[in-house]
Structure 1
Amino acid sequence: MDPEAWDSEEVHRYLTLGLDKPDLDGASGTGTKAMVVGSTGPFAQLAGRKALEAGGSATDAVIATALTQIALAAGSWVSYAGVFHLVHAGEDRTDSLSAGYATFAEEDDAASIPKAPEPSGRTALVPGFMAGIASAHERFGVLPWADLFAAAIHVAEQGFPVGALRAGQFALRKDVLPESFRAQRGDTFRQPELATTLRAVATEGADWMYRGPWAREFVAVVRAAGGKATMDDLARYQPIWADPLTVGFRGTEVHTIARPDTGGAALAAALRLAEDVDGDPLEDPRALHDLIKITRQAMRPGSHSDFVLAVDERGNVAAACHTINTSLWGSTGLFAGGVSIPDSACFQQRALAGLGPGEHLPCPVNPAIALRDGRPVLASSSIGTGLQCATLQGVHAVLGLGLPVDEVVRRPMFHGPDYLAGDTVTTTLQERLKGKAVGSAWQNAVARAKDEGVPREQVWDYVMAAVPQVIDDRFDPAVVRATEELGQALAPRPLSEPTMPRGFWGGIQLGDGPLVGGRTPFSGGTVEGL
């Protein structure tokens, strides 16, 4: 598992894949024994593959990949102080793991938590990521815990090459990032403080972050910025294991993330509605119209950050999603031990107000595993603003239309609603401080609903009726026109447009033949099959 022992040319190749431009073609691959698929960070998928080659479990591969994804992201869209969600199938049972954010006991006025871009320690929450992967490893891991950190530590210590895409992200968020993050294209970006933290967690276990020195630093940093974290908050944190939420769909039983998270329930509701959608949305305007309508009825937009899927040689399957659940690095610029501290409470005040001390904040992630006659046939997960839309299309195409995953990930897709005018990822802090609109189309529609006296429970439907659905411009124009004639407004955009409210989906198809894995365009992850 130590990259120092890997082929140096392979290491260099995986570290430099996709540095300067997004992948517009998607990715797919096959395997006969095992497989790992990731949304971002090719070198992270290499780490997952090495875990499988070493005889590791699907969960080992997911953990090694996720740990490395965060180091490669420099804590931007994913963080070791973020959250982790997993659905696992193996040994004649399935399990759901939720390691979401938890509340601080002393935070008794959630409504007054500052909104972005105002920086405040009160926007922090109790992290779940490290406790989540530790609990998953305890239950399903095979390889030693410390071995799974080797690739992430290598990235933090030795650095990774900065390409045009990452340099642009560093520049975009320069107002909140420390001086050490002022990296340019062509630089090697190292994170020595993070490497020290990762080595400590690898050696001492997750308690280092919940009861040990990192926990003390986290509490000190958050409280110094006005937050209400305590050591007891971290020490009490527990991930939630449960039976997955299940729903029948086209002769399969789809197992997805359970409560308190909301994405599984949304996926289940959508699949029930999609049971009778028989047409192909690329060819049938009615099918396209109905699938879009279903996402608007049963699902709410969410924006999450990295997924990992894995199958091991023993047939165990793991589908995971982990996220910072805010804009790149958040708006506070807070770090503890080289770990970025998300500001995920800055936009969830209403949800937090309904929770008690230490309760988990629900998350709309939707990792899922479909079984037919008790055997896994599809692992699925998604990220991005249009993650719910992407998941429904991917699962419907594979399980409903019978298409192979490698074809599905290259098909045209519809994405999220067209209500964003600048967002917290593509709009710099200074522009937002000057009043640049974020979600103005949405806000204006909500204001109109209020002026017209629309009841609160009807506001969502009122607003969505006026907002077009973004669709990539590879759809047949005749299908687009016919869909609009059925009453669904569409906003075609080029696949390459960076501000598209995009959904990214990945899947691994299992059956009597080879494993087939894939992920949709733009994210840059690889498919590694054995």
Structure 2
Amino acid sequence: MPIRPDAGGRSTVYGMRGAVACEHPQAALAGIRVLEEGGNAVDACVAMAATLAVVAPMTTGMGGDAFLLFYEAKSGRVVGACGAGGAPRGIDAQKLRDMGLSRMPDRGALTVTVPGAVRLWEDAARELGRLPLGRLLENALRYAREGCIVAEVVGRYWETAGELLRKDEAAARCFLPGGRVPRAGQRFLQPDLARTLEVLCEGGADAFYEGEIARRIARSVREAGGFLSEGDLAEHQTEWVEPISTDYRGVRVYEIPPPTQGIAALEMLGILEGFELAELDPLGAGRVHLEVEAKKLAFRDLRERVGDPDFCEVPVERMLSKEYAAGLREEISRERAAGVSRELSLGSDTTYLCAVDEEGNGCSFINSLYKGFGSGIVAGGTGVCLQNRGACFTLEEGHPNELAPGKRPLHTIIPALATREGALWAVFGVMGGPMQPQGHAQLLADLLDYGMSPQEAADHPRHFHDGETLLLEGRYPERTVEELRRMGHAVEVGPDYAVPTGGAQVIRILEGGVRACGSDPRKDGCALAQ
């Protein structure tokens, strides 16, 4: 693959100290400022996530969930934190079936689960960071109070949400100033959210999960026909988890365990490791076909076996074994596409960000409302848009992911982290619903099998398989499209940079400790390094 300057586009960003990558320049600046003030990688990520909740409100926010992976340089340990809220205690699948529903709705009050992000922000800063939560929220507070300028990609996402936002009075008041969707380049203020951030700066996460903010959140959901209570909010806690991992080409890749789809990313890598991808054209049908077929097998397991491990047994060890991967690999034909059974219904909006600090600590962080503007419900007077993560549950009786009180749904959002011989190798992620495991596998193949730089890997054409359709970005050669169709794939050719193929952010640690950073051109953001 050609590299800059002849190919045009973005360059890989290099540095020797701190580095950040995310989907919005103002959030990246917030992360760098925190590093300059003595914060570490976790502090930088919390500051970026909070800022993104203001400047990219359709993808993320305090009303959503969050996860992180952290590499501690001095010990070499990798820890995970799960900020996934459960379903309200007053709701279950039978109650919804009795209401005449056969599947979870996509939006509205019945899809609201407990938001876990704010508790995770505070716990991460206290347990792993160096700076208090109040300091990490300062940039977000300033943009909410004084206004932020709507970025181009953010503006395009906003345009698609006008009808949803008009259904909720508080949402329309917050996100449709003057009754219209804000345009790129327009200044946008969020006074209600600014007041909520001020309360959090003073009272911490407890001020979100108890007291007036919690009362407003619960009341807004109940008035819209949902079941969330103040007790549900008060009971929520961050879960510290042991990451799951697998080896791929000499690199140890870490993901958050179930109930996330991180296990599907690792399954895909286990299957693909048995093929010599490096011998295949990086833009050729042979490579795309193998990645898609590996995805089908991994998502079959995801659909049939994965749910909240507090409620069902997930055979993680077996699913990640090399022997199991070898058996799945035998199901793949090199010449023909396999059929697809019933697919998961998973949304596409989230935000991913990452940081490495001067000491070599690394943080991979993801925060989401699920689909754009989540449930479409804003808690009156708070500016907090509530997620629709409950849409990921099934109402199928006996299924591992069946809706139950306090249960966490199958989660799309997954941060990733990799080490080599115990040293940090990369923090990375590819945001975007069911694209995320596919994106993790494709990005790692670009980096490891094809030797691309971080920015080349972020730029590289990607493909997205969903249901029976295989979407290829328009930069794939016509011969690749034709060959995939001959193999039986239902190919759809999209624009050169297609939204469903997600948004990648990556920081690699090179020889001598050099930080090499890439940020996806499909988003508004950038990578910055000291």
User: What TM-score do the two structures reach when normalised by structure 2?
Assistant: 0.80
Decide whether aligned partners of structure 1 residues 265 and 61 sit closer, same or farther in structure 2, where only a CA change above 3 A counts. same
Q: Specify the SS of the correspondent of 1:87.
A: strand
Q: Is the 8 A contact 1:27 1:526 kept in 2?
A: no
Which of 300, 312, 318 in structure 1 is aligned with 2:363? 318
- Find the partner of 1:374 among 413, 422, 428: 422
Query: In structure 2, how many angstroms separate the alpha carbons of the residues matched to 1:408 and 1:33?
Result: 22
Task: Note the 1:240-259 alignment, pairs <5 A.
Answer: 240-259=239-258
Distance 1:357 1:139 in 2: 29
The whole-number CA distance in structure 2 between the counterparts of 1:512 and 1:290 is 31
Structure 1 residues 149 and 353: alpha-carbon distance in aligned structure 2, compared to 1, 3 A threshold: same
Quote the offset at 1:121 in angstroms: 2.7
Distance 1:172 1:116 in 2: 22
Where in structure 2 are the equivalents of 1:463-502 lying within 5 Å? 464=467, 467-496=468-497, 500-502=499-501
CA deviation after TM superposition for structure 1 residue 352, in Å: 9.2
Which residue identity does 2:473 align to in structure 1? D
**Equivalence for 2:33:** 50
In structure 2, what is the equivalent of residue 398 of structure 1? Answer: 447
Residue 390 of structure 2 aligns to a residue whose secondary structure is: coil
Q: Does 1:84 align with 2:132?
A: no
Structure 2 CA distance for partners of 1:149 and 1:402, relative to 1, 3 Å? same
- Residue of structure 2 in register with 1:511 after alignment: 510
Match of 2:44 in 1: 61
Shift of 1:130: 0.5
Q: 1:409 to 1:67 in 2, by over 3 A?
A: same
Deviations 1:377-420 (A, max 9, x none): 11111212422222211011212333221221222211243xxx
**Residue 179 of structure 1 aligns with which residue?**
173
1:155 equivalent to 2:204? Answer no
Cα distance in 2, alignment partners of residues 134 and 332 from structure 1: 24
Tell me the equivalent position of 2:207: 208
Is the CA contact (8 Å cut-off) linking 1:416 and 1:503 kept in structure 2?
A: no
Distance across 1 between alignment mates of 2:429 and 2:267: 16
| More displaced stretch, 403-412 vs 169-178 | 169-178
Equivalent pair of 2:454/2:508 in contact (CA under 8 Å): yes
1:363 aligns with 2:411: yes
**Separation (CA, whole Å) in 2 of partners of 1:93 and 1:265:** 20
* Alignment coverage as a number of residue pairs: 454
Match of 2:375 in 1: 330
Identity %: 24
Q: Which residue of structure 2 lines up, in the alignment, with residue 32 of structure 1? A: 16
Matches within 5 A, 1:284-323: 284-299=284-299, 303-323=348-368
User: What secondary structure is seen at the aligned counterpart in 2 of 1:474?
Assistant: coil
Distance between the aligned counterparts of 2:430 and 2:450, measured in 1? Answer: 19
Could you tell which deviates more after superposition, 63-72 or 405-414?
A: 405-414
Q: Which residue of structure 2 aligns with residue 121 of structure 1?
A: 109
CA 1:381–1:516 in 2, change beyond 3 Å: closer, same or farther? same
Q: What does residue 307 of structure 2 align with?
A: none
CA distance in 1, matches of 2:257, 2:96: 25
**Where do 1:348-359 residues align within 5 Å?**
348-350=393-395, 354-359=402-407
Cα distance in 1 between the residues matched to 2:412 and 2:156: 28
User: Could you tell me whether the CA contact under 8 Å between 1:281 and 1:288 is conserved in 2?
Assistant: no
Change (3 A) 1:352 1:148: farther
Q: What is the distance in 1 between the residues matched to 2:77 and 2:96?
A: 38
2:272 is equivalent to residue 274 of structure 1:
yes
Distance 1:210 1:296, change over 3 A: same
Counterpart code for 1:147: R
Query: Residue 522 and residue 107 in structure 1: after superposition, are their counterparts in 2 closer, same or farther (change >3 A)?
Result: same
> 1: distance between equivalents of 2:272 and 2:63?
36
Q: Quick one: structure 1 residues 222 and 352, their matched pair in 2 at CA, closer, same or farther if it must change by over 3 Å?
A: farther
> Does the 8 Å CA contact 2:481/2:491 hold for their aligned counterparts?
yes
Residue matched to 2:303: none
Is the 1:370–1:376 contact (alpha carbons within 8 Å) kept by the matching residues of 2?
yes
Decide whether the 8 Å contact of 1:99 with 1:128 is kept in 2: yes
User: Contact (CA 8 Å) 1:311, 1:317: kept in 2 or not?
Assistant: yes
8 A Cα contact 2:517 2:527, kept in partner: yes
Report the Cα distance in structure 2 between the residues aligned to 1:271 and 1:321, rounded to whole angstroms: 21
Whether the 8 Å contact between 2:216 and 2:379 is mirrored in structure 1 is no
Match of 2:311 in 1: none
Judge conservation of contact 1:370–1:378 (CA < 8 Å) in 2: yes
- C-alpha distance in structure 1 between counterparts of 2:465 and 2:12, whole Å: 24
Gaps of 5+ in 1: 1-23, 418-463
Query: Where does 1:101-120 land on structure 2 (aligned, <5 Å)?
Result: 101-108=85-92, 109-111=95-97, 112=99, 120=108
Unaligned runs of 5+ residues in structure 2 are 1-7, 300-343
Return closer, same or farther for 1:154/1:474 CA change in 2, 3 Å cut-off: same
Distance 1:281 1:101 in 2: 42
Q: Quick check: 1:387–1:505 contact (8 Å CA) kept in 2?
A: no
Name the CA distance, whole Å, in 1 between partners of 2:176 and 2:225: 26
* Deviation at residue 53 of structure 1 after TM alignment: 1.2
Verify the 8 A CA contact 1:302 1:388 in the aligned structure 2.
no
1:407 and 2:456 equivalent? yes
Give the aligned partner of residue 332 of structure 2: none
Which string of whole-angstrom CA distances, capped at 9 and with x for unpartnered residues, describes residues 348-393 of structure 1? Answer: 3437973543232230223111111101111111212422222211
User: Given that residues 88 and 96 in structure 1 are in contact (C-alpha distance below 8 angstroms), is that contact kept between their aligned partners in structure 2?
Assistant: yes
Q: How far apart, CA to CA, are the structure 1 residues paired with 2:485 and 2:157?
A: 36
Superimposed CA distance per residue, residues 199-258 of structure 1 (whole angstroms, 9 cap, x where no aligned partner):
111111100111222111111222222222222211111121111001011112111111
CA distance in 1, matches of 2:24, 2:459: 19
Distance change >3 Å, CA 407–CA 247, structure 1 → 2: same
Calculate the TM-score normalised by the size of structure 1: 0.80
The equivalent residue for 1:100 is 84
Tell me the amino acid that sits aligned with residue 146 of structure 1. Answer: G
The one-letter code sitting in structure 2 at the alignment partner of 1:71 is: V
Cα 1:485–1:41, aligned 2, differ >3 Å: closer, same or farther?
same
Q: Is the 8 A contact 2:104 2:393 kept in 1?
A: no
Q: 1:403 to 1:164 in 2, by over 3 A?
A: closer
Match of 1:217 in 2: 216
Once the two structures are overlaid, the 10-residue window that deviates more, 328-337 or 272-281, is: 328-337
Quote the Cα distance in structure 1 between the aligned partners of 2:526 and 2:380.
29
Do the aligned partners of 2:214 and 2:233 also contact (CA within 8 Å) in 1? yes
Partner of 2:127: 139
Relative to structure 1, the CA distance from residue 289 to residue 377 in structure 2 (aligned partners, 3 Å threshold; closer, same or farther) is: same
Equivalent residues of 2:108, 2:224 under 8 A apart: yes
User: Given that residues 99 and 131 in structure 1 are in contact (C-alpha distance below 8 angstroms), is that contact kept between their aligned partners in structure 2?
Assistant: yes
Residue 262 of structure 2 corresponds to 264
SS in 2 for 1:523: coil
Cα distance in 1 between the residues matched to 2:380 and 2:265: 34
